[in-house]
């Protein structure tokens, strides 16, 4: 019996809430204010809402795609069914390359933050090796283990890190929010475009859809997961708007992390150390989910067992991360992954849905 047919490999619908939210809140939440406020200024909270609405629609489209093709187990079989073996597999491989870049970007960006804020003398390869060894152990445990990690990656940081962000409100200047609607719709939509890339991660649903016990029931939980992500981003952007001014944000690389320096505890001098240490629970599940998606895709396309493909994928991540050293290169990697991800969710997913809908109607017309 394959994994899709064996119920012990499947997960309950409500767990999709944690997978979606965990995959969306990564290193981007530490620095997204710069890009959004550069376009929409103090109206950037509107851009957050607009981007969220777009992602809600995209999640709906993903579910409609699989409802339109009930025989497809995942995006790999769907590509092969509607685009043929060669073109379908080519698109699937390109999608796996994107997931690989997503894992690499999250890994290398977090290592850079650790080096800058905590351990400047330790090499990136040491952190990378530790992360990837843990990833190997987790991914080979199966998809349910990865989902369990996503669950704790939401629950623990939520109760530890989020309360710390409210301490800066003691020094808040609420007049920074005024005047409302001071920016044009074009500026707000530009900010929404910059914000959309912060919601990336939900598209991995294309790979693990077949592991949902009752996929149709999980749709509402996926939407709630995205809504909760929006709430987190709105809280962070509002606190940032009333604490910083627009000029200050553009000169701070990680505004959210800087906010964590505000709380003062007698026995802890650097609160951001606590935040960064716990934040590994936010970062690690995203890397595991992306690596699992790549290995799962490799199994579906090339019939390579995940036990064999995972070491290869992790070795590639380790080697490539060694060549990305300078801050400029890390920034270029972030921009490349963001651009590819933007076109994957904004162009590829809707176009695929339209193509499948037309193909089904054409097939029905021919049969009649």
The answer to whether 33 and 237 have CB atoms below 8 angstroms apart is: yes
Q: In degrees, to the nearest 5, what angle opens at C-alpha 348 toward C-alphas 337 and 319?
A: 30
Q: Tens of pLDDT along 258-306?
A: 888 887 777 677 777 888 888 899 999 999 999 999 999 999 999 999 9
d(CA 24, CA 200): 6
Residue 207 has a pLDDT of: 93
What are the structural domains, with CATH classification, of the chain? Answer: 19-356 (1.20.1740.10)
Say if residue 253's pLDDT is above 90.
no
C-alpha distances (whole Å) from 287 to each of 128, 170, 271 are 11, 35, 25
Crossing angle of helices 124-139 and 143-160, in 10° steps, is 120
| pLDDT higher than threshold 50 for residue 224 | yes
Q: Which of 31-45, 232-246, 258-272 has the lowest mean pLDDT?
A: 258-272
Contact (CB, 8 A) for 167 and 263 = yes
Q: What is the pLDDT of residue 368?
A: 56
On average, the pLDDT of the chain sits at 90
pLDDT at residue number 1: 35
Find, among 264, 177, 168, 206, the residue nearest to 65 by Cα. Answer: 206
105-163 pLDDT, tens digit each: 999 999 999 988 888 888 888 999 999 999 999 999 999 999 999 999 999 888 888 88
Cα distances from 360 to residues 82, 215, 270, 354, in angstroms, run: 10, 21, 59, 10
- State mean pLDDT over 232-250: 91
| Residue 340 near residue 98, CB atoms below 8 Å | yes
pLDDT at 6: 63
pTM of the model: 0.92
Residues forming beta bridges with residue 268, ordered by sequence position: 265
Over 70: is that where the pLDDT of 367 sits? no
Say what the pLDDT of residue 3 is. 53
Helices and strands in the chain: count of H runs, count of E runs: 16, 0
CB 111 within 8 A of CB 124: yes
The span from the CA of 133 to the CA of 184, in Å, is 48
Containing 151, the helix (H) or strand (E) segment is: helix 143-160
What per-residue confidence (pLDDT) applies to 332?
92
> How sure is the predictor about 2, in pLDDT bands with cuts at 50, 70 and 90?
very low
Over range 310-323, report the average pLDDT. Answer: 94
Stretch 13-36: mean pLDDT: 92
């Amino acid at each position: 019996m394959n994994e899709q047919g064996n119920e012990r490999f499947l997960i309950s619908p409500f767990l999709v809430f944690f997978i979606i939210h965990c995959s969306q809140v990564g290193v981007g939440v530490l620095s997204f204010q710069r890009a959004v406020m550069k376009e929409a200024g103090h109206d950037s909270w509107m851009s957050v809402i607009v981007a969220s609405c777009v992602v809600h629609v995209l999640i709906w489209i993903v579910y409609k795609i699989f409802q339109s093709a009930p025989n497809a187990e995942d995006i790999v079989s769907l590509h092969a069914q509607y685009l043929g073996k060669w073109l379908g597999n080519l698109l699937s491989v390109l999608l796996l390359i994107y997931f690989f870049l997503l894992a690499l970007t999250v890994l290398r960006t977090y290592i850079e933050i650790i080096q800058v804020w905590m351990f400047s003398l330790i090499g990136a390869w040491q952190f990378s090796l530790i992360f990837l060894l843990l990833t190997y152990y987790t991914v080979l445990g199966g998809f349910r283990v990865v989902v369990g990690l996503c669950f704790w990656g939401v629950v623990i940081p939520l109760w530890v890190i989020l309360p710390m962000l409210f301490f800066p409100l003691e020094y808040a200047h609420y007049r920074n929010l005024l005047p409302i609607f001071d920016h044009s719709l074009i500026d707000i939509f530009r900010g929404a475009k910059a914000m959309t890339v912060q919601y990336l991660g939900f598209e991995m649903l294309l790979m693990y859809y077949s592991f949902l016990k009752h996929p149709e029931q999980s749709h509402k939980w996926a939407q709630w997961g995205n809504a909760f992500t929006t709430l987190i981003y709105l809280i962070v952007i509002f606190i940032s708007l009333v604490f910083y001014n627009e000029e200050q944000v553009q000169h701070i690389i990680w505004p959210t992390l800087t906010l964590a320096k505000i709380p003062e505890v007698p026995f802890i001098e650097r609160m951001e150390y606590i935040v960064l240490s716990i934040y590994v629970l936010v970062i690690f599940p995203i890397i595991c989910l992306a690596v699992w998606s790549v290995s799962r895709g490799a199994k579906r396309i090339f019939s390579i067992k995940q036990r064999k493909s995972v070491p290869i994928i992790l070795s590639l991540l380790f080697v490539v991360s060694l060549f990305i050293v300078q801050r400029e290169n890390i920034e270029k990697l972030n921009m490349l992954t963001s651009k590819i991800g933007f076109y994957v969710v904004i162009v590829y997913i809707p176009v695929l849905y339209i193509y499948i809908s037309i193909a089904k109607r054409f097939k029905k017309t021919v049969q009649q």
